[in-house]
Chain A
Amino acid sequence: MTDTPAEQRNFGLVGLSKARFAVLITVFLGPALAIYTLFAVYPLIATIAYAMYHVAPDGSSRFAGLDNFRTLLFDDTWSKPFWNAFRNNSWFFLIHMLVQNPIGLLLAALLSQSKLTGRAAYRTLIFMPTMLSVVIIGFIWQLILSPLWGVSKSFLAAIGMQSWFAPWLGLESSALITISLMSVWQFVGIPMILIYTALIAIPEDFIDAARVDGLNARQIFTHIKLPLIAPTIGLVSVLTFVNNFNAFDLIYAVKGAIAGPNFATDIMGTFFYRTFFGHQLQLGDRTMGSAVATMMFLIILAGLMIYLVLIQRRLQRYSY
């Protein structure tokens, strides 16, 4: 390392005058900052501000403070669907955490086996659904599960399990789980690819050293590899959380905005959509919709804070 010139190590920023440095920072960061502020920060703040207004039928609006939030959280007509959506969304997230991410981890572990043939093919095939439109995913799965023309019914009949078949997407008890699993099927490629890249970045020396020390494959995985990819698993969890609480499209494509039966598949996204844009005869309520969007933001923020404070800080990071 000693033979590297100092200028090169500091990327040429050392020795610049303050004014020149300011110019460079403005030129390089300015555009991104401006675009981000305009398209992400401003709408967010505007939404929160808008949630504090009431709009009268003639189009005039007045400041209403936290009224919308009070109604949303404490008035039965609003709080019931709100908490129902929150509860369903939590289940939706839990199923992803319990099914999608472990399967993603397993697939990544299998893919990183050195003796595997056809690795690229598996990788591509498993990642493929992620790149498909949700509309297509919804359509394919509805067709597979359809009680009228679906292949799942005849498949179960062929193996003598016809009595196990049910119109899963139409039952209050199973609709949410079914849709969650459809979403898991679609997005399992994301944890797989992220964890896979983390796994193959682990230097061979570590594995060799562990093997010399007498660890078997399973022990190497749990004691060497898993701790090294823990930060990636944390990242995957956070991504899952944020995406799940922002989810909307699959449910909308499969069950419509009035996510039935009896709102069993209603999540924050569909609840927000109905409130903000309206539905059939329900006219959209922009300010109340903004209040719902603000609550979604706060829920995601709270989840991220919990993650950052309780988990992220305790993760050991290794550089190699």
Chain B
Amino acid sequence: MKNTLVTTALAAALLAGLSATALAGSIKIESWRNDDADIWKNKIIPAFNAKHADIKVEFAPSPPTEYNAGLNARLDGGTAGDLITCRPFDASLELFKKGHLAGLNELDGMKNFSEVAKSAWTTDDGKTTFCLPMGAVIHGFMYNKDAFAKVGAEVPKTEDEFFAVLEKFKKDGTYTPLAMGTNDQWESATMGFQNIGPNYWMGEDGRAGLIKGTAKLTDAPYVNVWKSLAKWGPYLGDGYKAQKYPDSQNLFSLGKAAIYPAGSWDISTFRKDGAFKLGAFSPPTPAGAKDCYISDHTDIGIGMNSKSKNSADAKVFLEWMATDEFANIFANELPGFFPLSNAKVTVKDDVAQEFVSWRAKCKSTIRNSYQILSRGTPNFENELWNVSAQVINGTMTPEAAGKQTEEGLSKWYEPHKK
């Protein structure tokens, strides 16, 4: 009898304990960054728990290709996690419009982020922000310092110097001057057009102009970008028209190429494989430019499931993600992904530090095709891939590229119909 009582009491205590831990908050994070699972489990979550030991955090990533579809199904079925990693722009906006993501305006930490940083997760009218900006990738050029020393080339600052350096490498013949191919098309648009472009269209001014319809792709600033790209062809590797993205990465990390048009996410690849001194320089400015602009592209954010049963704890976690502490962990554990908050961040990787230092001397903007403009048919981003690759291949003139993309926009986008 006594035994039974004890057992019952124990069982009751155990049950109470179990439900208590469940109540004291456990939150689940949905993400496509399964590459980063270890960093979350070993660095980010322990750092958070050091401050908030009572909240249990589970990082539950799914493969990138399955993320959007799987997340949608789980949100519809009510089984999704409490925190949702946000793709930039329309994919997340769609989730907000369907009522799956909660508005986060009242979040204190939101004041640590600039308007540009928030633009990827804010409604078109600018009233509601529904995801906390997390990370950005920056475009620029990486270069082989050994190759530069050997050929006696200086790091170029202007467009003219840039082509002079390329010419020098071409004459020398030891290195492929520029490691990029047009086979996969996206590099032509992303590492080409969006990389050097902001200097021509004055960053945010030009991007906003396109959205408002006051600027057109047939205008000089845009056509000039393609004119500059058209000159890349002769400096790319042999048969660059069939060269794929991994080919370009290999060409550069094997030390066979001098300059690599980059996204900052490439840093870790070259850190792992490259056996030479790696450097980086910001996109060269065209003649007569006073200011410089960089593509500091919002890539990843985090929002809250509007049906989360544990929204109080989820908010605590989000507030923590807006702090300097998180920004520093994020920047150093994932070199090449830069925190978007205004926090003062020290990055230990020198190339990553070089990239992030451009934020101080240049003005940031994002890729001009990402907000609003890629909602219609023909799809603006797809068009940019196509025409930019063709311009570099020499099968399309810069003027024709401007004309085709502008016509594409004018087919469905009111501000461009005039």
Contacts and interface: CB of A to CB of B under 8 A. Distances in A.
Name the residue in B97, B184, B244 with the highest tally of chain A Cβ atoms < 10 Å from its Cβ.
B244
Interface stretch (A36-44, A111-119, A163-171): A163-171
Interface string B171-202: 00000000001111110000000000000000
B205 interface: no
A261 B184 CA distance: 9
A318 B247 CA distance: 55
B185 A256 contact: yes
B4 interface: no
Contacts of B382: 258, 274, 279-282
Given A57-B97, A78-B377, A258-B386, A280 B186 contact: yes
Contacts of B91: 283
Interface residues of B, number: 43
Nearest to B378: A77
Given A258-B185, A281-B374, A147 B411 contact: no
A3 interface: no
Contact of A148 (B247, B393, B396): B247
Contacts of A312: none
Name the residue in B241, B244, B369 with the highest tally of chain A Cβ atoms < 10 Å from its Cβ.
B241
Contact of B182 (A58, A142, A261, A282): A261
Interface string A66-83: 000000000011100000
Given A77-B378, A167-B243, A261-B241, A283 B183 contact: no
A59 interface: yes
Nearest to A165: B239
Interface residues of A, number: 34
B377 A77 contact: yes
Contacts of A57: 94, 97
A87 to B, nearest CB: 17
A280 B241 contact: no
Interface in A193-224: none
Contacts of B370: 281
Contact of A169 (B183, B238, B390): B183
A147 B238 contact: yes
Interface string B235-249: 001111111100100
Interface in B71-108: 89-91, 94, 97-98
A167 B240 contact: yes
A263 B239 contact: no
A229 B396 CA distance: 50
B71 to A, nearest CB: 14
Nearest to A169: B242
A169 B395 CA distance: 15
Contact of B386 (A76, A260, A281): A260
B230 interface: no
A261 B240 contact: no
Name the residue in A58, A149, A255, A262 with the highest tally of chain B Cβ atoms < 10 Å from its Cβ.
A262
A177 to B, nearest CB: 14
Contacts of B374: 281-282
A91 B90 CA distance: 36
B242 A147 contact: yes
B379 interface: yes
Contacts of B377: 77-78
Contacts of A59: 98
B389 A281 contact: no
Interface of B: 89-91, 94, 97-98, 181-186, 237-244, 247, 250-251, 369-370, 374-375, 377-382, 385-386, 389-390, 393, 395-396, 408, 411-412
Which 6 A-B pairs have CB atoms at the shortest separation, nearest pair first?
A147-B239, A170-B241, A167-B242, A170-B242, A167-B239, A281-B374
Interface of A: 57-59, 76-78, 142, 145-149, 153, 165-172, 255-256, 258, 260-263, 274, 279-283
